[in-house]
Amino acid sequence: MLDKALNYIKFSYAPYSKFKVACILIASNGIEEKEFYGVNVENASYGLTICAERVAIFKAISEGYNKLLKMYLVAVDENNNEVLNIMPCGACRQVIFEFSDSLKIITRSGEFDIKELLPFGFKILNL
């Protein structure tokens, strides 16, 4: 799956940082599981850049697949060398935590649980 994500990284739009990221999110709508692909999409105003993880999550949520199960994450640097230690940024961890406290994040350097990456994450209970 990490190799599959790496194949998708060609769709990353990262002309400013030249740091390309791709992810595959496996999510369920309660009936079936589906793969959602995401890449980082940058912007000339920089601040409007969105990470690959959030693209994939928003694609899944907007199609009713709100049970986030697994995420495969890869990145390449400006020389197109694979970055082995890519990890979701803090903002993406918080967005993941909104929908799941058990998502597994799989990278070349190992498998991580969102709870270990974002202990004591913010959540509004009793909605």
The residues binding ligand THU (CB under 6 A) are 14, 17, 19, 21, 40, 42, 49, 51-53, 88-89, 92
Other beta carbons within 10 Å of 83: 16
Indicate the SS3 state at residue 83: strand
Using CA atoms, how far apart are residues 51 and 126, in angstroms rounded to an integer?
A: 29
In whole angstroms, the minimum distance from the beta carbon of 30 to ligand THU comes to 27
In whole angstroms, the minimum distance from the beta carbon of 111 to ligand THU comes to 16
Select which of 33, 35, 42, 53 is catalytic. Answer: 53
Closer of 11 and 19 to ligand THU (Cβ): 19
Using CA atoms, how far apart are residues 89 and 61, in angstroms rounded to an integer?
A: 19
Task: Respond yes or no: is residue 53 known to be catalytic.
Answer: yes
* Contact criterion met (CB below 8 Å) for 74 and 2: yes
Closer of 5 and 88 to ligand THU (Cβ): 88
* Contact criterion met (CB below 8 Å) for 27 and 71: no
Closer of 40 and 100 to ligand THU (Cβ): 40
Indicate the SS3 state at residue 67: strand
In whole angstroms, the minimum distance from the beta carbon of 99 to ligand THU comes to 16
**Residues carrying an active site annotation:** 53
